[in-house]
């Protein structure tokens, strides 16, 4: 075992990057790397980047600039800081990063994290490395499993990547190019990871993937398994009381997955289902391969299976050729569905994608104006959704101490942050909480009178 060194991993973008960042740290741990939250103390700084919108990539370059200053300061003191760029910007820009930012030592694409120990050792001896191949070997098989202490430090709610990449090729999206073709992990590998997390005290699992409901990993019976089958299997893992999944495509929402929402208590009544636009013309131009009606039908079927389901979505405004009338179709879809919340984006042309080459690009001012109107509509719905819980009882998974003495913070089934006065020993349990007040970012509540001592079933809790 070599001398202890420190690694700082900074994640940009989606939850898949947060998961990857954890796995990178886990993979470097056996080589003597400890995680640090302070980049200036680190021997290795990894920026795990996102390329989904233009601003995301620019943020990375300004972050590299900041780390370069620390690197130069450390060098003056006779200490070396290695800078690595990982994630989708690394995958998309490769050599270009080395050209624009000479302080970077290593560029590693999203499929190659299992090679990090070897790549970092080579970079430490002065080699400049760009490794953005899509290798054939199974990255997940080779990535180190998280250690028990690291799992505990990351809390009682964990993400698990079950599939990567995407074959849908929406015309605005870089994911099929940066993450490659859709690949699903074998069910057995996922179950083993979830059992390990549960044994260390994790109670809630969010299955993640760029198109998670396209999951079709090798099942225990040798045939391919659907996401519904995977969820049913994970609901049987002792200690896991909540399951979620994100992000889904409306076309991959099959009958079995819809039925699972009606059957599985552990499956939370909260679905993130991006629609992008309410206009059929835009949906066709985006190559979404579903219509507005198809989307509304999926929502109706899900609500039939589980009436208390809440929905969130992603919307893009200002896609090439979008007219005021198309945009109004989006607003009317929002009114029709009633979302608990939503992510809203102004269209950002991504090099190499078909939409970036379309001629009828929308002016920035028009995009901003529509974005504001969209955000106002979504905010109204989000406020109304939260307000509807005043005085009601909710199940809250208590996660950690709050800011005030004696206060705990947890999440409702609908992912709302809930603050409640409760004994520290309740952390890791699901409590019945009466909502007493609605804040701007959280709900406030009190333990229901009949709230018994916490029932902890997780093996390690």
- Residues at the site binding ligand SAM, with contacts judged by CB under 6 A: 14, 52-53, 172-173, 175, 210-211, 247, 249, 274, 276, 314, 316, 345, 347-348, 350
The listed partner (ligand SF4, ligand SAM, none) that binds 414, CB under 5 to 8 Å by sort, is none
The listed partner (ligand SAM, ligand SF4, none) that binds 52, CB under 5 to 8 Å by sort, is ligand SAM
The smaller minimum CB distance to ligand SAM, of residues 27 and 348, is found at: 348
| Residue 13 in contact with ligand SF4, rule: CB under 6 A | no
- What is d(CA 202, CA 458) in angstroms, rounded to the nearest whole number? 7
| Residue 21 in contact with ligand SF4, rule: CB under 6 A | no
The smaller minimum CB distance to ligand SF4, of residues 162 and 197, is found at: 162
Nearest of 271, 258, 143, 252 to residue 196 by alpha carbon: 143
User: In whole angstroms, how close is the CB of 456 to ligand SAM at the nearest point?
Assistant: 35
Show the DSSP H helices in 86-200 as ranges: 87-93, 95-100, 116-124, 139-142, 148-153, 175-178, 187-199
Tokens of 319: 């896609």
| Residue 169 in contact with ligand SF4, rule: CB under 6 A | yes
| Residue 175 in contact with ligand SF4, rule: CB under 6 A | yes
Tokens of 34: 């400890």
The smaller minimum CB distance to ligand SF4, of residues 264 and 284, is found at: 284
DSSP three-state, residue 183: strand
How many residues bind ligand SF4 (CB under 6 A)? The answer is 10
Contact 19, 55 (CB under 8 A): no
- What is d(CA 113, CA 142) in angstroms, rounded to the nearest whole number? 9
User: In whole angstroms, how close is the CB of 164 to ligand SF4 at the nearest point?
Assistant: 10
The listed partner (ligand SAM, ligand SF4, none) that binds 272, CB under 5 to 8 Å by sort, is none
- What is d(CA 112, CA 131) in angstroms, rounded to the nearest whole number? 7
- 186, 191, 244, 259, 453 from 219: Cα distances, Å: 6, 11, 20, 19, 38
Give CB contacts under 8 A, 24+ apart, made by 445-450. 445/394, 445/396, 445/418, 445/419, 445/420, 446/420, 446/421, 447/420, 447/421, 447/422, 448/393
The listed partner (ligand SAM, ligand SF4, none) that binds 176, CB under 5 to 8 Å by sort, is ligand SF4
- 57, 63, 196, 366 from 12: Cα distances, Å: 9, 11, 26, 27
Out of 8, 249, 272, 350, point to the residue binding ligand SF4 (CB under 6 A).
249
The smaller minimum CB distance to ligand SF4, of residues 176 and 201, is found at: 176
| Residue 87 in contact with ligand SF4, rule: CB under 6 A | no
The listed partner (ligand SF4, ligand SAM, none) that binds 109, CB under 5 to 8 Å by sort, is none
User: In whole angstroms, how close is the CB of 88 to ligand SF4 at the nearest point?
Assistant: 11
| Residue 211 in contact with ligand SF4, rule: CB under 6 A | yes
Q: Write each residue from 149 to 168 as x if it is in contact with ligand SF4 (CB under 6 A), else as -, in one continuous string.
A: -----------------x-x
- What is d(CA 197, CA 161) in angstroms, rounded to the nearest whole number? 13
| Residue 313 in contact with ligand SF4, rule: CB under 6 A | no
Tokens of 145: 């499993």
| Residue 16 in contact with ligand SF4, rule: CB under 6 A | no
User: In whole angstroms, how close is the CB of 326 to ligand SAM at the nearest point?
Assistant: 15
Tokens of 244: 């979620």
Give CB contacts under 8 A, 24+ apart, made by 373-378. 373/327, 373/331, 374/315, 374/317, 374/327, 374/330, 374/331, 374/334, 374/344, 375/344, 377/331, 377/334, 377/335, 378/315, 378/334, 378/339, 378/341, 378/342, 378/344
User: In whole angstroms, how close is the CB of 12 to ligand SAM at the nearest point?
Assistant: 12
User: In whole angstroms, how close is the CB of 249 to ligand SF4 at the nearest point?
Assistant: 5
The smaller minimum CB distance to ligand SAM, of residues 52 and 447, is found at: 52
The listed partner (ligand SF4, ligand SAM, none) that binds 347, CB under 5 to 8 Å by sort, is ligand SAM
The listed partner (ligand SF4, ligand SAM, none) that binds 36, CB under 5 to 8 Å by sort, is none
User: In whole angstroms, how close is the CB of 260 to ligand SF4 at the nearest point?
Assistant: 21
> In the window 412-431, what residues touch ligand SF4 (CB under 6 A)?
none
The listed partner (ligand SF4, ligand SAM, none) that binds 201, CB under 5 to 8 Å by sort, is none
- Omega into 247 within 30° of 0, i.e. cis? yes
Spatial CB neighbours of 360, under 8 Å, sequence gap ≥ 6: 320, 321
User: In whole angstroms, how close is the CB of 407 to ligand SAM at the nearest point?
Assistant: 33
Q: Any idea which residue has 């993450």 for tokens?
A: 179
- 18, 132, 161, 167, 189 from 15: Cα distances, Å: 5, 21, 9, 20, 20
The smaller minimum CB distance to ligand SAM, of residues 199 and 296, is found at: 296
Q: Interface with ligand SF4 by CB under 6 A: which residues?
A: 166, 168-170, 173, 175-176, 210-211, 249
């Amino acid at each position: 075992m070599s001398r202890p060194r420190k690694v700082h991993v900074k994640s940009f973008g989606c939850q898949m990057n947060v998961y990857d960042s954890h796995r990178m740290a886990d993979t470097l741990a056996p080589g003597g790397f400890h995680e640090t939250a302070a980049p200036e103390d680190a021997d290795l700084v990894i920026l795990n980047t996102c390329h989904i919108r233009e601003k995301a990539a620019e943020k990375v370059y300004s972050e590299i600039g900041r780390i370069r200053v620390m690197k130069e300061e450390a060098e003056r003191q006779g200490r070396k800081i290695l800078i690595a760029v990982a994630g989708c910007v690394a995958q998309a820009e490769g050599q270009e990063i080395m050209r624009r930012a000479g302080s970077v030592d290593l560029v590693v694409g999203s499929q190659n994290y299992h090679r990090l120990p070897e790549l970092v050792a080579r970079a430490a001896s002065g080699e400049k490395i760009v490794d953005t191949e899509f290798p054939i070997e199974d990255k997940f098989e080779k990535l180190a499993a998280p250690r028990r202490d690291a799992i505990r430090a990351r809390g009682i709610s964990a993400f698990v990547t079950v599939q990567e990449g995407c074959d849908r090729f929406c015309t605005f999206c870089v994911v099929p190019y940066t993450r490659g073709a859709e690949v699903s992990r074998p069910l057995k590998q996922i179950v083993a990871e979830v059992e390990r997390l549960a044994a260390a005290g994790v109670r809630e699992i969010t299955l993640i993937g760029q198109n998670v409901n396209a999951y079709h990993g090798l099942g225990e019976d040798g045939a391919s398994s659907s996401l519904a089958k995977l969820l049913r299997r994970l609901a049987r893992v002792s200690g896991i009381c909540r399951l979620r999944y994100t992000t889904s495509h409306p076309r991959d929402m099959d009958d079995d997955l819809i039925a699972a929402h009606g059957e599985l208590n552990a499956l939370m009544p909260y679905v993130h289902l991006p629609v992008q636009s309410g206009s059929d013309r835009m949906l066709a131009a985006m190559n979404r391969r579903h219509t507005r009606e198809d989307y509304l039908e999926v929502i109706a079927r899900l609500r039939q299976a589980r009436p208390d389901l809440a929905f969130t979505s992603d919307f893009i405004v200002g896609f090439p050729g979008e007219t005021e009338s198309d945009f109004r179709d989006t607003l009317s879809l929002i009114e029709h569905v009633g979302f608990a919340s939503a992510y809203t984006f102004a269209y950002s042309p991504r090099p190499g994608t078909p939409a970036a080459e379309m001629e009828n690009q929308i002016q920035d001012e028009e995009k901003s104006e529509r974005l504001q109107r969209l955000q106002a509509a979504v905010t109204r719905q989000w406020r109304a959704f939260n307000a509807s819980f005043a005085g009601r009882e909710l199940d809250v998974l208590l996660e950690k101490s709050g800011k005030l003495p004696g206060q705990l913070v947890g999440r409702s089934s609908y992912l709302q942050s809930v603050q409640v006065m409760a004994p520290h020993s309740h952390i890791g349990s699901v409590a019945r909480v009466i909502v007493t007040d609605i804040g701007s970012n959280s709900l406030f509540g009190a333990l229901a009178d009949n709230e018994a001592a916490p029932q902890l079933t997780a093996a390690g809790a």
